Structure 1
Amino acid sequence: MQRWSRRKTHFPVLALFFSVFIVASILYNERNIRKIHDRKEEQQVPIRDSTLLTSVPSKVSSKHKPIVAAASLDRFTKCDSTRKFHGRRTETVYQKLDSSQRREKQHRCDLFSGKWVFDNTSYPLYDESRCPYMSDQLACHKHGRTDLGYQNWRWQPHDCNLKRWNATEMWEKLRGKRLMFVGDSLNRGQWISMVCLLQSVIPVDKRSMSPNAPLTIFRAEEYNATVEFYWAPLLVESNSDDPVNHRLNDRIMRPDSVFKHASEWEKADILIFNTYLWWRQGPIKLLWSDEESGICEELDGVGAMELAMEAWADWVASKVNPLKKKVFFVTMSPTHLWSREWAPGTEGNCYQENNPIDMEGYWGSGSDLPTMRMVDKVVDRLRSKVSVLNITQLSEYRKDGHPSIYRKFWESLSPQQLSNPASYADCIHWCLPGVPDVWNELLFNSL
């Protein structure tokens, strides 16, 4: 201001007046602009601020309370009270993706439509006993299964052939990258399958496995690559995020938050997501991020899953650049709990089943069609950023592929259970080698 006054020596008083006027105007305008800006920040979440999109509810209190990070959920989290879900939704970005942003459907062979062919020459792709990372939950031969035909089935698409599995070629696809499986124990089974498929070509002193934790990492030094599994059974944050201690009476989730998990996802180059089975275990309690009083809402499994899928989809829409990161969503893995569905008049399950279902187009209650339609609706809006591994129909045929009673059970079995093996047969997970190897062959063909 002084320098300006010296230049205007002929009109000192006038210059001083104008200086004071201009400074006052600037201060006034700046204060008003700041007020407007602060008001807007309180009232809405900027579309471009993608870090907030999956945690801020669409309806904000008229009191304009500041948004603070909610406390993390764990297995000790409880609801102070529960009320019926009242229809609240989260902010969604993925719905704004228009058709021009979706991947155009290519007219090519449908890898997911076909039949199982017995092939004891090329399959299995590895030996169960020679994979040091095999899980006792999936090692069926080790735990007494003697009919090993389940290891010899090859998936044959109707109008083309799958490219033959090649571990070295897969490592080249992964060179310098992080491949991460995200989900529940079924996705963990697919991860173990992938590690068993890949580990044999890596020298023992050039590979390592981190201890079991929410994030477990298999490393291959010479490729500077990792194959990882991240435990997130509901995708969003929940009280079941402990990979060991997650058997709880009440499932509580934050339907509007993937922050905790996404901090790991964003580091991966290739992501394989799944979620399904845990939503079939009864109603879910919802604890929103801005709910301070511990009041939960309750919603049925499909409705709660849709909320979680929308939060996941928001993260994909706002964070995933398909030129840098590949995202796959694995459709539901079917169960085989009722033999009457493929053999009318019987009252068993997958126990003692040793051949696939040969009825093309077979569909059992282990695959829930309304849930599949909901998932398809959400994922379809992300087609430019997400590829689907549609393993449901081909896995439906494999009633013979489950561990049944041939696995390690972590809890003691009662005399009553032991006298009726079908009562404790595992018809949910899959023996290895087996069906999940084919899921990984489909992934190999899709990369």
Structure 2
Amino acid sequence: MSCAFLFLFDGYLVSNSSSSSVDKCDVFEGSWIREESYPLYNASQCPFAEIGFHCFANGRKDGGNAKWRWKPKNCDIPRFDVRTVLIKLRGKRVIFVGDSLSRTQWESLICLLMTGVEDKKSVYEVNGNKITKQIRFLSVRFSSFDLKIDFYRSVFLVQPATVPIRSPKMVKSTLRVDKLDDISQEWFDSDILIFNSGHWWTQGCYFQVGKSLKLGMPITAGFRTALKTWASWVETMVNTNRTSVFFRTFESSHWSGRNRNSCKVTQHPWSSSWGKDQSTISDIIIKIVRKMKVSVTILHVTPMISFRSNGHVGTRSNNPSVPDCSHWCLPGVPDMWNEILLNLLPMDQVSLK
């Protein structure tokens, strides 16, 4: 029986099957379809799924939220084969860098891979830490596969800085947009490196270049400068012959109107994106990555998550009095990001059916 393979080419999946009518497939152009075989894991059996994101344990009744699979328009994503992935990731180090949405994807990948591990106790947090928002570094080891999956909390990617002397009193903190986060020295020693940033870039940020405070610099200009700093670091510090680098684009939330306390979690995905498939932050990421001198793959999730109003935590967290239309339930949307991620890895790292 002949096998068709997909491999990465300029951020796309490409088929090597001569019988395939799809030569080049943008996996981020498509739609969500109902999939009864989902979800791929039970969060109650995964100790690394934060209780705040475990919506079913917190009273969500419509389990159909997790029964949606992303279907690209011109191809299909090979079904997740946990044993194949674990074998191909043996001896590897995977690093996620970013904010709480990056941490959710980190948790999702661990839960997905744990379904293929018989001895669950062989999977553990290296330093004995529990997952909290305050911890900057978390590392889970799959000891039987010599695999480490790490998370570094770096919401801006660049360094928070001390406010320069004689700055206006309104300036309580600044960001050194010309200098990468001081924990970046831990990132380049990896096989797979996934970044995200954007949600913390809000009004109230003040930016600094060298010792100079840039009071008039807009948020988008500050983010663009920070991304250029990040891009330069990747180009000079990361061996992209060894390390596969990814950057996930912005995930628009689904708050109702301008009221951040109004969060309507629907039962099914939206039939329209209502403009949430566009993001200035994502546009900046895409433009900068495409100009880089080394290979970086964009995980352009912005369009695909724009429909998933039903995927958010809402009031089904461990603090139901605070609605949440930014974060995602587990299992749920981040699982699909990881399925795509694993299928975009070079063929020598993950074999695709």
> Are the equivalent residues in 2 in contact too, given 1:235–1:261 (CA < 8 A)?
no
In the alignment, structure 2 segments of 5+ residues that lack a partner are: 1-8, 15-22, 163-170, 346-353
CA shift for structure 1 position 297 = 3.6
> Are the equivalent residues in 1 in contact too, given 2:55–2:316 (CA < 8 A)?
yes
> Are the equivalent residues in 2 in contact too, given 1:321–1:385 (CA < 8 A)?
no
Give TM-score scaled by structure 1 length. Answer: 0.65
Residues 278 and 348 of structure 1, relative CA distance in 2, 3 Å threshold: closer
Aligned pairs for 1:181-192 (under 5 A) are 181-192=96-107
Residues 109 and 139 of structure 1, relative CA distance in 2, 3 Å threshold: same
> Are the equivalent residues in 2 in contact too, given 1:350–1:402 (CA < 8 A)?
no
Aligned pairs for 1:36-435 (under 5 A) are 108-120=24-36, 122-202=37-117, 203-209=119-125, 210=127, 211=129, 212=131, 213-238=135-160, 250=172, 252-258=174-180, 260-279=182-201, 281-290=202-211, 297=215, 299-338=217-256, 350-359=263-272, 362-365=273-276, 369-382=279-292, 384-409=294-319, 413=321, 424-435=322-333
**CA distance in 2 between partners of 1:154 and 1:238 (Å):** 38
CA shift for structure 1 position 104 = 9.2
Q: Deviation digits for residues 350-408 of structure 1, max 9, x if unmatched?
A: 4241110123xx2435x653332222110111274201111111100100000001102
**CA distance in 1 between partners of 2:52 and 2:293 (Å):** 34
Residues 133 and 370 of structure 1, relative CA distance in 2, 3 Å threshold: closer
CA shift for structure 1 position 348 = 9.3
Matched residue SS, 1:117: strand
Query: Which shifted more, 157-166 or 375-384?
Result: 375-384
Larger proportion of strand: 2
**CA distance in 1 between partners of 2:298 and 2:262 (Å):** 29
Residue type matched to 1:316 in 2? V
Which 4+ residue blocks in structure 1 deviate beyond 4 angstroms? Answer: 102-107, 347-350
**CA distance in 1 between partners of 2:262 and 2:33 (Å):** 23
> Are the equivalent residues in 2 in contact too, given 1:283–1:300 (CA < 8 A)?
no
In the alignment, structure 1 segments of 5+ residues that lack a partner are: 1-101, 241-248, 341-346, 414-423
> Are the equivalent residues in 1 in contact too, given 2:265–2:311 (CA < 8 A)?
no
Q: Percent identity?
A: 33
* Structure with max Cα Rg: 1
> Are the equivalent residues in 1 in contact too, given 2:53–2:317 (CA < 8 A)?
yes
Query: Which shifted more, 322-331 or 249-258?
Result: 249-258
Give TM-score scaled by structure 2 length. Answer: 0.81
**CA distance in 1 between partners of 2:264 and 2:11 (Å):** 43
> Are the equivalent residues in 2 in contact too, given 1:316–1:385 (CA < 8 A)?
no
**CA distance in 1 between partners of 2:63 and 2:122 (Å):** 32
Q: Deviation digits for residues 381-439 of structure 1, max 9, x if unmatched?
A: 12742011111111001000000011023xx95xxxxxxxxxx4211000010000000
Count of aligned pairs between the two proteins: 312
> Are the equivalent residues in 1 in contact too, given 2:92–2:148 (CA < 8 A)?
yes
Residue equivalent to 1:438:
336
Matched residue SS, 1:327: strand
CA shift for structure 1 position 200 = 2.8
CA shift for structure 1 position 221 = 1.2
**CA distance in 1 between partners of 2:172 and 2:70 (Å):** 39
> Are the equivalent residues in 1 in contact too, given 2:265–2:309 (CA < 8 A)?
no
Residue equivalent to 2:18:
none
Residues 316 and 349 of structure 1, relative CA distance in 2, 3 Å threshold: same
> Are the equivalent residues in 1 in contact too, given 2:155–2:200 (CA < 8 A)?
yes
**CA distance in 2 between partners of 1:221 and 1:153 (Å):** 32
Matched residue SS, 2:31: strand
Backbone CA RMSD of aligned residues: 2.6
**CA distance in 1 between partners of 2:282 and 2:46 (Å):** 34
CA shift for structure 1 position 103 = 5.1
Residues 271 and 104 of structure 1, relative CA distance in 2, 3 Å threshold: closer
Residue type matched to 1:190 in 2? Q
